[in-house]
């Protein structure tokens, strides 16, 4: 892989204009296609195999007029202060608005509040239930316009009108989160590199990558129904990882330039080393996110695949467009006009960076550091034991929105259960007396303690399937409502024994409960799959038993600690004002699963980028503790910058009004902070210092079986060293010029660079004049050669050596 990426980096560097034009053409094509796309939906849930979904499928067949899977809206009316809705004027106005709703496009039916008894006892609050023929994602703009007109006309008449339900369109999300994330990333990059050019390249490639990914996801809505949360997560992750991947490659490119390599060669080497790590890190994120599709929930599948695609685009951009842009930047990327005095001293090799000092502190006190870190994470994880999960509803909408006002008004007038009515289906096709079975179900529902109201059964045309309604006394997301659904289903078993009829509970509340249950059941198996994947991948990369185990345990610590933070803030209400949480409640069911997939990928990113450099130093002969310190010397600053950027990008989504997005932003920000700074940069070096050489051991039989993925570019390094050996100049005799000499055929042979002079000989002619830039590069080469370092042959080698280079790069193991 490293050799392929080396050639790809050099090719993109040389053909930079073609590469940039191709990317511009791709973006233009995707943008044109996305312009006519229907766009994302708000994400209707479908859970095949659950009781609620089976009931929906039956209702769709037996009660097509009910539009069981269609969108619904609740139009809530509230009388002016001191008046009632039953007064002649107010009643006439409400009936007029209901009639207007009945004429709305795509509406299958509207319940009249006065005819259906949907007026509160005080007479001040009433609501109309609006059912649509189409799903939530297919509600037309004309239907939304009628909703808006009804609200405006009702308020003009003095009524307070609010809308709830999944058929109501949400307000457009603010872009402040993305802007804040990009702004903080720009500041961090400038501080890290001290150069506007070096800081601008990761930002530019990240913006282009995110644009390509989001436009592609929008284009995909021509063929798939994708939830808006899928686009948000793809944007969030794509922006973060794209900046990080470009950051690592640009940092390695600058290091190669400092080592005296020509820009094209430096680009190839940067892609062959850091690019290999980027590919592996990206693959781990892609696999973890794609794995969300195995859970079987459409909304979760869309979120996982859209985010995985955004990460894949970030990897491709980093491997193709970024080298092309480096070709335009050249050596100007080294101009550090914004460097502080300390940064300039570090550039000259004077003093030690904070990362090196931290690594020395950790490796000198591994037991104390390890104990404090693990104890701190254990304390953070304690709230996880109180984790409760549920899907969000209108109660989680921001205060002041029409959905939240409708929810609160209904709760005030009728009780919180009216926001989540249950639909009960009695399938009596195998019963001897369908009407008796339905009546038994109706009687049973009326006797339950937590049922506020029951709607009598209505039958299909064949008279063998009955539809009933039950309104809970408790809120839709409460444990009491969940217990009520379980109780009704338990009574269904008794009903089947007595009458032969099947009883099923569905409706939005029941669907949400089934989804939450399915996600809870999938949490542990998915976690086991992800941890197992981590063990296998890291075993391949680091060829060690201890490091994969350590990384997997660290990942588990990060996950449970992050869940503890979420429970403390969103469920217990600690610091809720600081994070803009206006109402506590269960954690959104989707969040833990999404968190596991994303944190796994990001944790493996930092593990690869940090530990791979430690392994590189260890393989080259450094002692275990020294290898840890050297790994921090070369990668600590970049990993820190990457983590700060990710935390900033994710934290920006705390400004979003949606509770789901807010919780995802806090969860990912906390996870990255904990995993990067506590686990990877504290616990990992402490453990490696304690274990010493045992950290890098691998049984010989396993070493022979495992393929060598060469993430560190070891084969590439050997190939380039072998190339240097082949292209090294022949010794020059004393007194013979180091320039052009005559060949045996009387013609001039190509000159070979030599900085060697025989002892006592002073009349050797000087080398040919060099350009200032090349002279500086050759001077650095001479200095490194004199120090015995890993010198690199200057770029002015003979053309006859090009075939040798091509052969070596095609088969880097030829000389081994």
> How confident is the model over 494-540, as pLDDT tens digits?
999 989 999 999 988 888 888 888 888 888 888 888 778 778 877 88
The CA distances from residue 117 to 76, 126, 602, in Å, are: 14, 9, 54
What integer pLDDT is reported at residue 80 of this predicted model?
A: 92
Residue carrying the six token digits 């008794």:
494
What integer pLDDT is reported at residue 194 of this predicted model?
A: 76
What integer pLDDT is reported at residue 47 of this predicted model?
A: 73
Instruction: Report yes or no: 237 and 311 within 8 Å, Cβ to Cβ.
Output: yes
Query: pLDDT below 50 — which residues of the chain?
Result: 730-816
Instruction: Report yes or no: 112 and 128 within 8 Å, Cβ to Cβ.
Output: yes
The CB-side HSE value for 235 (13 A sphere, CA atoms) comes to 22
Of residues 255, 256, 275, the one with CA closest to residue 264: 256
Of residues 444, 513, 522, 517, the one with CA closest to residue 482: 513
What integer pLDDT is reported at residue 702 of this predicted model?
A: 84
Q: How far apart are CA 326 and CA 267, in angstroms?
A: 7
Q: How far apart are CA 350 and CA 343, in angstroms?
A: 10
What integer pLDDT is reported at residue 799 of this predicted model?
A: 39
Instruction: Report yes or no: 247 and 274 within 8 Å, Cβ to Cβ.
Output: no
Strand partners, 109: 131
Rounded to two decimals, the pTM is 0.75
Residue carrying the six token digits 């930047």:
329
Residues in the chain: 816
């Amino acid at each position: 892989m490293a050799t392929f990426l080396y050639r790809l980096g050099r090719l993109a560097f040389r053909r930079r204009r073609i590469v940039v034009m191709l990317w511009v053409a791709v973006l233009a094509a995707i943008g044109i296609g996305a312009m006519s796309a229907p766009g994302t939906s708000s994400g209707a849930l479908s859970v095949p195999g659950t009781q609620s979904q089976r009931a929906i499928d039956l209702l769709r067949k037996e009660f097509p007029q009910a539009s069981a899977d269609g969108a619904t809206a609740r139009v809530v009316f509230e009388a002016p202060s001191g008046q009632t809705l039953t007064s002649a004027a107010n009643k006439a106005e409400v009936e007029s608005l209901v009639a207007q709703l009945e004429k709305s496009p795509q509406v299958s039916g509207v319940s009249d509040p006065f005819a259906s008894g949907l007026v509160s006892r005080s007479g001040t609050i009433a609501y109309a239930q609006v059912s649509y023929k189409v799903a939530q994602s297919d509600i037309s703009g004309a239907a939304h316009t009628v909703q808006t007109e009804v609200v405006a006309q009702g308020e003009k008449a003095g009524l307070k009108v609010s809308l709830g339900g999944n058929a109501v369109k949400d307000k457009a999300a603010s872009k402040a989160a993305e802007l804040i994330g990009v702004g903080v990333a720009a500041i961090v990059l400038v501080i890290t590199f001290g150069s506007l050019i070096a800081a601008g390249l990761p930002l530019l490639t990240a913006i282009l990558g995110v644009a390509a990914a989001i436009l592609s996801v929008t284009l995909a809505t021509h063929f798939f129904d994708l939830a808006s949360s899928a686009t948000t997560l793809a944007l969030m992750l794509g922006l973060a990882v794209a900046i990080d991947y470009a950051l690592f490659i640009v940092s390695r490119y600058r290091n190669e330039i400092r080592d005296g390599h020509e820009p094209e060669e430096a680009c190839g080497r940067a892609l062959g080393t850091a690019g290999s790590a980027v590919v592996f890190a990206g693959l781990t994120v892609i696999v973890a996110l794609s794995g969300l599709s195995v859970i079987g929930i459409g909304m979760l599948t869309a979120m996982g695949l859209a985010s995985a695609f955004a990460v894949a685009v970030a990897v491709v951009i980093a491997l193709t467009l970024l080298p092309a842009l480096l070709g335009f930047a050249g050596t100007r990327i080294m101009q550090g006009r914004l460097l502080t005095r300390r940064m300039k001293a570090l550039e000259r090799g004077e003093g030690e960076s904070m990362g090196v000092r931290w690594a020395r502190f950790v490796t000198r006190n591994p037991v104390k550091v390890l104990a404090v870190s693990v104890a701190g994470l254990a304390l953070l994880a304690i709230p996880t034991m109180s984790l409760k999960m549920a899907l969000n509803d209108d109660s989680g909408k921001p205060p002041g929105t029409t959905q939240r006002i409708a929810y609160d008004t209904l709760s005030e007038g009728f009780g919180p259960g009216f926001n989540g009515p249950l639909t009960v289906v009695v399938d009596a096709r195998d019963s001897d007396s369908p009407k008796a079975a339905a009546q038994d179900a109706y009687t049973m529902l009326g006797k339950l303690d937590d049922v506020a109201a029951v709607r009598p059964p209505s039958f299909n045309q064949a008279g063998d399937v009955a539809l009933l309604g039950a309104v809970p006394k408790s809120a839709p997301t409460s444990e009491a409502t969940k217990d009520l659904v379980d109780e009704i289903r338990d009574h269904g078993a008794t009903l089947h024994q007595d009458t032969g009829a099947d009883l099923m509970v569905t409706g939005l509340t029941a669907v949400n409960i089934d989804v939450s249950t399915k996600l809870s059941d999938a949490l542990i198996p998915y976690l086991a799959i992800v941890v197992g994947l981590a063990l296998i991948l890291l075993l391949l990369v680091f060829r060690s038993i201890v490091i994969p185990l350590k990384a997997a345990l660290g990942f588990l610590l990060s996950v449970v600690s992050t869940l503890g933070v979420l429970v403390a803030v969103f469920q217990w209400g600690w610091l809720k004002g600081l994070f803009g949480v206006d109402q506590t409640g269960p954690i959104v069911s989707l969040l833990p699963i999404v968190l596991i997939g994303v944190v796994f990928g990001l944790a493996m990113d930092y593990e690869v980028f940090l530990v791979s450099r430690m392994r590189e130093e260890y393989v080259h002969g450094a002692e275990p503790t020294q290898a840890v310190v050297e790994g921090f010397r070369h990668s600590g600053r970049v990993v820190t910058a990457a983590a700060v950027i990710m935390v900033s990008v994710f934290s920006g989504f705390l400004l979003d009004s949606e509770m789901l997005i807010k919780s995802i932003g806090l969860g990912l920000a906390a996870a990255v902070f904990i995993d990067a700074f506590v686990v990877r940069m504290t616990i990992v070096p402490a453990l490696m210092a304690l274990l010493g050489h045992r950290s890098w051991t691998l049984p010989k039989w396993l070493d022979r079986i495992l393929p060598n993925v060469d993430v560190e570019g070891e084969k590439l390094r050997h190939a380039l060293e072998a190339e240097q050996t082949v292209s090294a100049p022949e010794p020059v005799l004393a007194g013979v010029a180091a320039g052009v000499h005559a060949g045996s055929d009387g013609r001039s042979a190509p000159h070979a660079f030599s900085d060697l002079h025989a002892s006592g000989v002073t009349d050797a002619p000087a080398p040919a004049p060099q350009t200032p830039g090349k002279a500086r590069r050759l001077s650095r080469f001479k200095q490194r050669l004199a120090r015995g370092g890993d010198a690199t042959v200057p770029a002015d080698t003979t053309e006859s050596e090009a075939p040798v280079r091509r052969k070596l790069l095609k088969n880097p193991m030829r000389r081994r």
